[in-house]
């Protein structure tokens, strides 16, 4: 897949970083066993503990030394409970959002970084949802520390965490329009004045249609 625009552009004269960048984007497929290291153990233990493993897991990806389990949204709570209670992943280190506009009907990704203190292991869960129906079950009841992380992911990306105890904006004002870290969000900004000159805001320097 060829991707145009975004930061990293060189030689275009576009000081905002958008413009002439064109690069090939690779979609990573499911990794075949053996995964290596403790990753096979985690997958085997989860499969034994959860009879619906094959229905819940979309794919397993091992990339750059990290194991990511792609989970169907409607199975996320079940998998999270088993990972906490039976596989001893006691901590969710953080929740992150990513926006992939080119992935039709799965543009928004919620990523959970999990840590097992008991087993000294780290894995990630990833859930993909549509911009039109951006609902993911909240994991606050599983890991209380995800509370503020889910609020930030909602604030920046618009992913709605169902049954969150207080899903409100945490960085932007309550009446803010839009989600600033989506890739289709306008750059915005303010004009910068220098002696004898004014530099327009990034979103006004050229057309990004």
Task: Just give the CATH number of 31-178.
Answer: 3.30.460.80
The percent of residues in the chain predicted with pLDDT above 90, rounded, is: 71
Distance CA 151, CA 76 (A): 18
- Residue 84 vs residue 200, higher pLDDT: 84
Does the pLDDT of residue 128 top 80, yes or no? yes
Roughly how many angstroms between the first and final C-alpha of the chain, as a whole number?
A: 20
* For residue 26, pLDDT beyond 80: no
Mean pLDDT taken over the chain: 87
pLDDT value of residue 197: 79
Residue 39, pLDDT above cutoff 80: yes
Is pLDDT above 60 for 16?
no
For the residues 53-75, what does the mean pLDDT come to? 95
Q: Tokens for 35?
A: 């995964």
Of 75, 180, 78, which Cα lies nearest the Cα of 127?
Answer: 75
Mean pLDDT of 146-164: 98
Which residue bears the tokens 């060829």? 2
pLDDT at 57: 95
Token pair 């002696």: residue: 195
Is the pLDDT confidence value at 144 over 90? yes
The Cα 127–Cα 75 span in angstroms is 10
What pLDDT does residue 10 have?
A: 53
* Weakest mean pLDDT among 38-47, 107-116, 178-187: 178-187
Q: How confident is the model at residue 181 (pLDDT cuts 50, 70, 90)?
A: very high
pLDDT given at position 24: 59
Burial of 58 (0-12, 13-18, 19+ CB in 10 A): middle
pTM for this structure?
Answer: 0.81
CA 68/CA 122 separation, integer angstroms? 10
- How sure is the predictor about 110, in pLDDT bands with cuts at 50, 70 and 90? very high
CA–CA distances in Å: residue 135 to residues 20, 92, 125, 128, 158: 34, 19, 16, 10, 9
CB 96 within 8 A of CB 152: no
SS3 of 39, please?
helix
Whether the pLDDT of residue 209 is over 70: the answer is no
Q: Give CA–CA dist 201/189, Å, rounded.
A: 5
Q: Is the peptide bond before 34 cis (omega within 30 degrees of 0)?
A: yes
């Amino acid at each position: 897949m060829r991707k145009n625009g975004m930061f990293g552009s060189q030689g275009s004269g576009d000081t905002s970083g958008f413009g002439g960048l064109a690069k090939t984007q690779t979609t990573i497929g499911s990794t075949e066993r053996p995964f290596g290291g403790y990753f096979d153990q985690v997958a085997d233990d989860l499969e034994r503990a959860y009879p619906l493993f094959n229905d819940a897991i979309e794919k397993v990806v091992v990339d750059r030394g990290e194991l990511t389990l792609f989970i169907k949204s409607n199975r996320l709570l079940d998998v999270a409970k088993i990972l906490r209670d039976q596989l001893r992943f006691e901590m969710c280190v953080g929740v992150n959002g990513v926006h992939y506009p080119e992935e039709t009907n799965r543009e928004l990704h919620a990523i959970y970084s999990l840590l097992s203190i008991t087993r000294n292991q780290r894995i990630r869960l990833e859930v993909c949802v549509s911009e039109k129906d951006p609902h993911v079950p909240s994991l606050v009841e599983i890991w209380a520390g995800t509370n503020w992380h889910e609020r930030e992911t909602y604030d920046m990306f618009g992913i709605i965490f169902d049954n969150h105890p207080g899903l409100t904006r945490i960085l932007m004002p309550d009446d803010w329009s839009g989600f600033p870290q989506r890739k289709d969000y306008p750059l915005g900004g303010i004009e910068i004045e220098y002696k004898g000159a004014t530099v327009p805001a990034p979103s006004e320097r050229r057309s990004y249609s």
